[in-house]
Amino acid sequence: MLTKDSNSATPVIEIRDLHKSYGDLEVLKGVSMIAPRGHVTSLIGSSGSGKSTLLRCANLLEDSQQGEIIFNGEPILWKGAGLDRRPADRKQVTRIRTNLSMVFQQFNLWAHMTILQNVMEAPVTVMGRDKAEVEEKARMYLDKVGIGDKCDVYPAQMSGGQQQRAAIARALCMEPQALLFDEPTSALDPELEQEVIKVIKALAEEGRTMIIVTHDMRMAADISDHVVFLHKGLIEEEGHPSDLFGNPKSERLKQFLSATVPA
């Protein structure tokens, strides 16, 4: 069991005054947040609020134009400025990315590989780990997410919920310091969605460090240690889920929750 002691540990991810633009469109306008070790942080907000962009910037899939991204106390090194800013050290980016596993909305499994091969691919080819050792762990993680019997099937032979659970097993097999989820259930129908939510809740109970972009307010309320509400590229309100969902302070958050939380 991992511990939820954020006082004695450096945050896994810290973001300070982050700005991100696509040409003239400024999507993030100065966002600061932390992901403490062993905590679940949920990012909520309407479409276009910047939550998925923030997650992609945290994982260095997108280049930001201003601000700091710090991983385990180590700042990302940058060169250039504004729209020309890029990471200065590609080896640093690769090393940090191998410790941040991302689960996408659309699964992104390799169609020509079995589920077991999908889960093993990155640890073996990217990280150079021993194949037999990785296979043992891959099978363990597939069992963990409830599809240990699907090792030899291909993604097209599985339901969407099973494919997303395979994607979670693949992320876990990298043995990352943090898991990043970008709307992991939004492509699923309600029944399959519950399969995936059950897995994510179990991971939260283990004390894994996670940042989750989600449209599911019930899941965010149930599993989060901290919830961040983004609106028009800024943090409008943040805090413990009982405060945000039980006693929202900003009018915009009240409007958002009234439209998204079932009565």
> What is the identity of the amino acid at 56?
R
Domain contains 234:
yes
| Locus of tokens 């079932």 | 262
Is 215 within a domain? Answer: yes
Q: For 148, which DSSP code?
A: G
Bridge partners, residue 86, by sequence:
79
Q: CA nearest 211: which of 235, 254, 179, 245?
A: 179
Does the residue 71 lie in any domain? yes
Tell me if 155 is assigned to some domain: no
Domains in the chain: how many in total? 1
Amino acid letter, residue 111: A
Domain of residue 83: give its range: 8-99+180-190+211-263
From first to last of its 263 residues, the chain has per-residue pLDDT tens of 344 444 457 899 999 999 999 989 999 999 999 999 999 999 999 999 999 999 999 999 999 999 999 999 999 999 999 999 999 999 999 999 999 999 998 888 999 999 999 999 999 998 899 999 999 999 999 999 999 999 999 999 999 999 999 999 999 999 999 999 999 988 788 888 889 999 999 999 999 999 999 999 999 999 999 999 999 999 999 999 999 999 999 999 999 999 886 65
Residue 56 covered by a domain: yes
CATH of the domain at 26: 3.40.50.300
Distances (CA, A) of 183 to 23, 67, 193, 237: 25, 25, 11, 20
149-186 exposure pattern, b = at least 16 Cβ within 10 A, e = fewer:
ebbeebbeebebbbbbbbbbbbbbbbebbbbbbbbbbe
Apex 101 CA angle, 125 and 107, nearest 5: 85
CA distance 181 to 105: 8
**Alpha helix segments (H runs only) across the chain:** 51-58, 90-97, 115-121, 131-144, 160-173, 190-205, 217-223, 241-246, 251-260
